[in-house]
Structure 1
Amino acid sequence: MSKYFLYCAGYYPYLNEIFIIGVIGRWEWDNILNLMARVNQLLEHEDYNCYMEKISGLEKERRFCKHGFEHGLNVARVAYAYMLETGEAILPKEVVYAAAFLHDIGRWVEYQTGEDHAEVSARLALPLLEVCQYSSEDIQIILQGIREHRRQPGDNLTPLGEALALADDWARDCRHCSAQTQCYKFNYTMKQIMF
């Protein structure tokens, strides 16, 4: 296999950067391919999967949106797109995706005790992020975003907190939901295509 790879050119307006055709080494290519390695490590972690199983079991009869892997992935995609579109703060994709996958992991505790799942999720996320070797700076950004995800946009949130708060609603398929009239979160704008 070749030691070098050709990469393409393009312009990314939100970062105001021009990418030029060039050659990258094998090491850089491997880094590109492993861009989401820590997120994948997180998703394979025993504790993460244990929390998700608990949530799934407790939401088995739930009529409203569930909070499993699919919800986390949808929130990740919408939050990341929102951050790119607004250009306010560009965080690494791994940071946004980690926050999105972890933002509801404490729901099972809320179902059992009534404790706010945003706070519980942040507590449960900390050791997972450390094991997955996120930097202390990234960990603080992720934990704050998780804590803020239930608040209203415009409440002086961090960029990640705002992205998660919006994505948590926008990532739901309210247009086709049979529980619209009973859902406390539903409003007409949630039927609109946002992202």
Structure 2
Amino acid sequence: MVFIVEKVNAILKNHDFCRYLSRIDDMERTRKFCRHGICHLMDVARIAYIMVLEKNIKVEKQIIYAAALLHDIGRGEQYEKGTPHEIAGVKIAKDILEKCGFDEYEKKQVLDLIGSHRKSDNWDSLKKIFYKSDKISRKCFMCSVFSDCSWPEEKKNYGIEY
């Protein structure tokens, strides 16, 4: 049996994951708004996992962490080609998950979270948690360009929830 640490760490060590994340970091270097680096990805994972535990939702920890690590992986393609990052991310993540030992059922769970993390319809409670964790991971309350942000008020994070 492969434990969570092994599969999640396999993502972190995966050449493609590192390359895509580095590419996003380079593209966002001069971005004044929220960035999508490893700190954001880990914040999403930890917040989502806490929420899952609080709501007693049965999902493996590795699914939450894998989805969080990969949910913004398509941003480079969004910046370059205009493809929505959740669509590009599903394609990119599928290959990474296969290389990191995730089985078909696990891949389906992770890819479903990645592909739906920006939608607001037909959500089950896990998708709602994942969406919310992505939003509340943002530190809007201490952002120096808060007043320039185009996010709707209902998405802005004015305090610490988790």
Identity %: 32
Structure 1 residue 193 and structure 2 residue 132: aligned? no
Q: Give the structure with the larger strand fraction.
A: 1
Secondary structure, counterpart of 1:181 in structure 2: helix
C-alpha separation in 1, matches of 2:59 and 2:160: 24
Question: Is 1:58 matched up with 2:27?
Answer: yes
Partner residue, 1:12:
none
Q: Could you say which residue in structure 2 is the equivalent of 1:101? A: 69
Q: Which residue of 1 aligns with 2:40?
A: 71
Higher relative contact order at CA 8 Å, sep ≥6: structure 1 or structure 2? 2
Residues in 2 aligned to 1:101 and 1:183: alpha-carbon distance in whole angstroms: 24
Larger Cα Rg: Structure 1 or Structure 2?
1
Give 1:146 deviation, angstroms.
0.3
1:43 equivalent to 2:9? Answer no
Matched residue pairs, number? 161
Once the two structures are overlaid, the 10-residue window that deviates more, 155-164 or 73-82, is 155-164
**1:138-182: CA deviation from partner (whole Å, max 9, x where unpaired):** 110110100111123xx2224432222111110111110012111
TM-score (norm 1): 0.77
Q: What does residue range 77-156 of structure 1 map to in structure 2 within 5 Å?
A: 77-87=46-56, 89-152=57-120, 155-156=121-122
Extract structure 1 runs of 4+ deviating beyond 6 A: none
TM-score by length of 2: 0.92
Paired letter, 2:157: M
**Cα offset, 1:183, TM superposition:** 1.4
Conserved? CA contact 2:139–2:159, under 8 Å: no
Task: Give 1:169's aligned residue.
Answer: 135
